[in-house]
Amino acid sequence: MRSLLFVPGDQERKITKALDGDADVVILDLEDSVAPECKQAARALTAEVLSSAQSGPKRYVRVNPLSSGLTAQDLDHVLPAGPDGILQPKTETGDDVISLKNMMKAPLPIIAIATETASAMFGLGNYARAAPDLIAMTWGAEDLSNELGAATSRDEAGHLTDPYRLARSLCLAGARAADVEPVDTVFVDFRDHDGLHNECISAARDGFTAKLAIHPDQVAVINDVFTPSVDALAEANRLIEAFAAAGNPGVIKLDGKMFDIPHLKRAKKLISRAGAIAG
Ligand code: COA
Ligand code: MG
C-alpha cells in the first residue's frame, strides 16, 4: 500500500475514474467531502459500486466519525456490499477503533485518522490495543487546524507549522508503536507536483510508507516515491551480504562506514516491503 486516493462517495464519474486508475487503495468517502443532504445518496452509490465485481484498487470506505451519530447507518449500508476496509476519521484513542470494530459483524481492516481533534493529540500512544484490526494510522491537518483555532496549517513558504509537524511526528511514532503502517496526510495543492514530490520524499525519509491523495494526478508521484528504488534495494542486499560474509557479527565496516544491527534490520525491512508491494 503506497497511495490511497479519496473520492467523494456521491460522485460517480470520479469514482469510476479512481477505480480505473493506479492507486493501491480507493477511499470512497461518506464524510467531509459529502454534504449532509447527500449522505444517503452517497451511501447508496457507494454500496452499488462495492457490489459490482472489481479488480484493481482495494476499496475502502471512509465512514462518518463516531461522534456524528451517523456511523451505524453508514456501516448498515456499505458492509453488505463487501468493502476491503474502513477508514475511520477523528479517532481520539485506540478505544475508538475497538468501538468501531464492535459495531461491525465481521472484522475488516481499519485505518485510523488519528490527529483530527485537539484531544486526539494526547491519545496517539495507545493504538496497539486495536490490533489486529487496525492496519495503518494517518493524520490530518485540516480538521485539527480548525479545532486549534488556527488560520492555516502552513506558513507563507508552504511548510507545515509546529502544531502540524507535531501531529505528523506523533502519528508516525504512534503507528510504529502500534506496529501498523504510518500513512502521510493529503497534499491539497493538487496542481503543484513538485511540492507533492518534495513532501513525499520527506515523508518516505522519515518513515512513512504511503500517502493519501485527493486527485488522480497525484497517484503516480506517490507510487513512485513510496516504491523502494532499484538502487536502494541493491544497497540493502549488499549490506546483508556483507554481514553474512563476515559471519553475521553485531557490527561491520563497509565503504569506510560503520553498520550495526539497526542498519541490518532496516535493510531487511526494505526488502520485505518491496516484496509486499510487488506481490
Ligand atoms: N478521484 C477520481 N477522479 C477525480 C478526482 C478524484 N479524487 N478528482 C478529480 N477527478 C477527475 C475529474 O472528475 C476530472 O475527470 P474528467 O475530466 O473525466 O471529468 C479529472 O479528474 C480532472 O479533474 P480536475 O478538473 O483537475 O479537478 P476537479 O475540479 O474536477 O476536482 C477536486 C477537484 C479537489 C474537487 C477533486 O479532485 C476531488 O473531489 N478530490 C477529492 C476530495 C475528497 O475526497 N476529499 C476528502 C478527503 S480530504
Ligand atoms: Mg476531515
Residue 49 grid coordinates: 459500486
Dist. CA 9–CA 214, nearest whole Å: 13
- Which residue's C-alpha comes closest to atom 29 of ligand 1? 215
- Which residue's C-alpha comes closest to atom 46 of ligand 1? 33
Instruction: Please report which ligand is nearest the Cα atom of 90.
Output: 2
Determine if ligand 1 sits within 6 Å of the CB of residue 2: no
pLDDT band, residue 278 (cuts 50/70/90): confident
pLDDT tens-digit map of 155-169:
998 899 999 999 999
Determine if ligand 1 sits within 6 Å of the CB of residue 29: yes
Q: Which residue has the higher pLDDT, 279 or 135?
A: 135
* 74 and 190 belong to one structural domain: yes
- Which residue's C-alpha comes closest to atom 11 of ligand 1? 14
* 216 and 239 belong to one structural domain: no
Residue 77 grid coordinates: 449500508
Q: Is pLDDT of 54 > 80?
A: no
Determine if ligand 1 sits within 6 Å of the CB of residue 216: yes
Residue that finishes a domain, picked among 184, 205, 226: 226
Q: Residue 32 CA: which ligand 1 atom is closest?
A: 46
What's the average model confidence in pLDDT over 119-124? 97
Average pLDDT, rounded, for the chain? 95
Residue that finishes a domain, picked among 209, 226, 243: 226
Residue 188 Cα to ligand 1 midpoint, Å, equals 11
Residue 143 Cα to ligand 2 midpoint, Å, equals 5
Amino acid at site 123: G
% of the chain at pLDDT higher than 90: 95
* 222 and 236 belong to one structural domain: no
pLDDT score at 29: 98
* 186 and 251 belong to one structural domain: no
Phi, psi of 221 (to 5 degrees): -60, -45
* 104 and 213 belong to one structural domain: yes
Q: For residues 196, 201, 206 and 209, what is the CA-based torsion angle, rounded to 10 degrees?
A: 80
What's the average model confidence in pLDDT over 208-231? 96
* 18 and 139 belong to one structural domain: yes
- Burial label, 102 (beta-carbon count in 10 A; 0-12, 13-18, 19+): exposed
* 236 and 220 belong to one structural domain: no
> Does residue 17 contact residue 216 with C-beta atoms inside 8 Å?
yes
CB crowding 117-155: b at 16 or more within 10 Å, else e: beebbebbeebeebeebbbbbbbbbebbbebeeeeebee
Determine if ligand 1 sits within 6 Å of the CB of residue 18: yes
pTM: 0.93
pLDDT tens-digit map of 223-269:
999 999 999 999 999 999 999 999 999 999 999 999 999 999 999 99
pLDDT band, residue 4 (cuts 50/70/90): very high
pLDDT score at 105: 83
Residue 105 Cα to ligand 2 midpoint, Å, equals 26
Q: Is pLDDT of 53 > 80?
A: no
* 22 and 93 belong to one structural domain: yes
* 98 and 183 belong to one structural domain: yes
Q: Is pLDDT of 213 > 90?
A: yes
pLDDT band, residue 149 (cuts 50/70/90): very high
* 219 and 263 belong to one structural domain: no
* 153 and 254 belong to one structural domain: no
Q: Which domain holds residue 252?
A: 230-278
Counting ligand 1 atoms within 8 A of each CB, the residue from 5, 6, 10, 14 with the most, and so the one to mutate, is 14
pLDDT tens-digit map of 69-111:
999 999 999 999 999 999 999 999 999 999 999 999 889 999 9
Q: Count how many domains the chain has.
A: 2
* 130 and 258 belong to one structural domain: no
Dist. CA 267–CA 223, nearest whole Å: 20
Q: What CATH code is carried by the domain that includes residue 10?
A: 3.20.20.60
For residue 167, give Cα distances in angstroms to 127, 129, 142, 184, 188. Answer: 15, 20, 12, 11, 17
Q: Is pLDDT of 23 > 90?
A: yes
Q: Which one, of 59, 68, 60, 128, lies nearest residue 97 by Cα? A: 128
What's the average model confidence in pLDDT over 266-275? 92
Residue 245 grid coordinates: 560474509
What's the average model confidence in pLDDT over 22-48? 97
Reported in sequence order, the residue ranges of the chain that DSSP labels E, i.e. its strands, are 3-8, 25-29, 58-62, 85-88, 110-113, 134-138, 181-184, 210-213, 251-254, 257-260
Determine if ligand 1 sits within 6 Å of the CB of residue 215: yes
pLDDT score at 245: 95
Dist. CA 83–CA 48, nearest whole Å: 11
